Amino acid sequence: MTLAGKHPELVVWSSEPLNVETPLEMLARSHVTATELFYVRNHGPVPAVDPAAYRLVVDGMVGTPLALSLEELRGRFETTTVEATLGCAGNRRAELATLRPIEGEIPWGAGAIGTARWTGVRLRDVLRAAEVAPDAGHVAFTGLDASAAAEGAVPFGGSIPLPKALGGDVLLAWAMNGEPLPAAHGFPLRVVVPGYIGARSVKWLAAVTVQADASSNYFQARAYRLFPPHRAVPSDRAADGLELGELVLSSALCRLTEGGSGARVVAEGYAVAGGERTVERVEISPDGGATWTAASLAERPRPGVWRLWRAELELGPGAGEVAVRAWDSAGETQPTDDAGVWNPKGYMNDAWHRVPVARQTV
Amino acid sequence: MTLAGKHPELVVWSSEPLNVETPLEMLARSHVTATELFYVRNHGPVPAVDPAAYRLVVDGMVGTPLALSLEELRGRFETTTVEATLGCAGNRRAELATLRPIEGEIPWGAGAIGTARWTGVRLRDVLRAAEVAPDAGHVAFTGLDASAAAEGAVPFGGSIPLPKALGGDVLLAWAMNGEPLPAAHGFPLRVVVPGYIGARSVKWLAAVTVQADASSNYFQARAYRLFPPHRAVPSDRAADGLELGELVLSSALCRLTEGGSGARVVAEGYAVAGGERTVERVEISPDGGATWTAASLAERPRPGVWRLWRAELELGPGAGEVAVRAWDSAGETQPTDDAGVWNPKGYMNDAWHRVPVARQTV
Work out the minimum CA distance from B331 to partner chain A, whole angstroms. 6
Work out the minimum CA distance from A226 to partner chain B, whole angstroms. 7
Give yes or no for a contact between A174 and A153, defined as CB atoms under 8 angstroms apart. Answer: no
DSSP string, A306-344: -EEEEEEEEPPSEEEEEEEEEEETTS-B--S-GGGT--T
How confident is the prediction for chain A on average, in pLDDT?
Answer: 92
Looking at the complex, does the CB of residue A334 fall below 8 Å from at least one CB of chain B? yes
Q: What single letter denotes the amino acid at residue B254?
A: C
Kindly report the number of other CB atoms within 10 A of residue A310's CB atom. Answer: 15
Looking at the complex, does the CB of residue B145 fall below 8 Å from at least one CB of chain A? no
Tell me which of B88, B332, B354 to substitute to probe the interface with A (most A C-beta atoms closer than 10 Å). B332
A177 Cβ partners below 8 Å, 6+ apart? A32, A34, A35, A116, A117
Work out the minimum CA distance from B292 to partner chain A, whole angstroms. 6
Run of H or E including B129:
helix B123-130
**Chain A contact set for B168 (CB, 8 A):** none
**Chain A contact set for B333 (CB, 8 A):** 335, 340-341
Among B275, B332, B335, the residue with its CB nearest the CB of A336 is B335
Work out the minimum CA distance from B275 to partner chain A, whole angstroms. 8
B272 Cβ partners below 8 Å, 6+ apart? B85, B87, B113, B247, B249, B250, B251, B279, B305, B306, B307, B326
Nearest chain B Cα to A337, which residue? Answer: B336
- Left if phi > 0, otherwise alpha if psi is -120 to 50, otherwise beta: which for A169? alpha
Q: Report the side by side order of strands in the sheet with B205-211.
A: B66-68, B56-60, B205-211, B138-143, B157-161
d(CA A128, CA A283): 43
User: What φ, ψ does residue A202 adopt, rounded to 5°?
Assistant: -65, 135
Q: Which pLDDT tens digit goes with each residue over B285-303?
A: 999 998 999 999 989 999 9
3-state percent breakdown (helix, strand, coil) of chain A, nearest 5: 15, 40, 50
Mean pLDDT across B41-48: 94
Kindly report the number of other CB atoms within 10 A of residue B76's CB atom. Answer: 13
Q: Is the pLDDT of residue B68 over 90?
A: yes
What share of chain B has pLDDT > 90, as a percent?
A: 81
Looking at the complex, does the CB of residue B281 fall below 8 Å from at least one CB of chain A? yes
d(CA B33, CA B21): 12
Looking at the complex, does the CB of residue A332 fall below 8 Å from at least one CB of chain B? yes
Looking at the complex, does the CB of residue A201 fall below 8 Å from at least one CB of chain B? no
Cα B301 to its chain centre, rounded Å, is 18
Q: Which pLDDT tens digit goes with each residue over B80-128?
A: 999 999 999 999 999 999 999 998 899 999 999 999 999 999 999 999 9
Work out the minimum CA distance from B100 to partner chain A, whole angstroms. 13
Q: Which pLDDT tens digit goes with each residue over A309-334?
A: 999 998 877 778 999 999 999 999 99
DSSP A185: G
Q: Is the pLDDT of residue A362 over 70?
A: no
d(CA A40, CA A20): 5
Mean pLDDT across A132-141: 97
Handedness of CA B186, B192, B197, B199 (dihedral sign): negative
Run of H or E including A178:
none
d(CA B151, CA B355): 39
Test B230 with A340 for CB contact under 8 angstroms: no
- If one compares A187 and A362, the residue with the highest pLDDT of the two is A187
d(CA A280, CA A295): 11
**Chain B contact set for A292 (CB, 8 A):** 228-230
Q: Is the pLDDT of residue B9 over 70?
A: yes
Among A242, A248, A291, the residue with its CB nearest the CB of B230 is A291
Handedness of CA A292, A294, A297, A301 (dihedral sign): positive
Predicted pLDDT of residue B1? 39
**Chain A contact set for B249 (CB, 8 A):** 332
What share of chain A has pLDDT > 70, as a percent?
A: 95
- If one compares B319 and B265, the residue with the highest pLDDT of the two is B265
Q: Which pLDDT tens digit goes with each residue over A206-234?
A: 999 999 999 999 999 988 999 988 765 55
Tell me which of B88, B99, B291, B336 to substitute to probe the interface with A (most A C-beta atoms closer than 10 Å). B336
Looking at the complex, does the CB of residue B333 fall below 8 Å from at least one CB of chain A? yes
**Chain B contact set for A281 (CB, 8 A):** 228, 242
d(CA B166, CA B162): 6
Q: Is the pLDDT of residue B235 over 80?
A: no
Question: What are the angstrom distances between the C-alpha of B153 and each of A48, B2, B44, B144?
Answer: 70, 21, 8, 11
- Reported as half-sphere exposure (CB side, CA atoms, 13 A), residue B193 has a value of 27
Contacts across the A-B interface (CB distance below 8 Å): 108
Give yes or no for a contact between A115 and A85, defined as CB atoms under 8 angstroms apart. Answer: yes
Across A142-167, b (16+ Cβ under 10 Å) vs e yields bbbbebebeeeebbbbbbbbbebbbb
Test A331 with B228 for CB contact under 8 angstroms: no
Looking at the complex, does the CB of residue A348 fall below 8 Å from at least one CB of chain B? yes
Virtual CA dihedral for B208, B210, B216, B221, nearest 10 degrees? 90
- Left if phi > 0, otherwise alpha if psi is -120 to 50, otherwise beta: which for A204? left
Predicted pLDDT of residue A233? 53
Q: How far apart are the first and last CA of chain A?
A: 49
DSSP B34: P
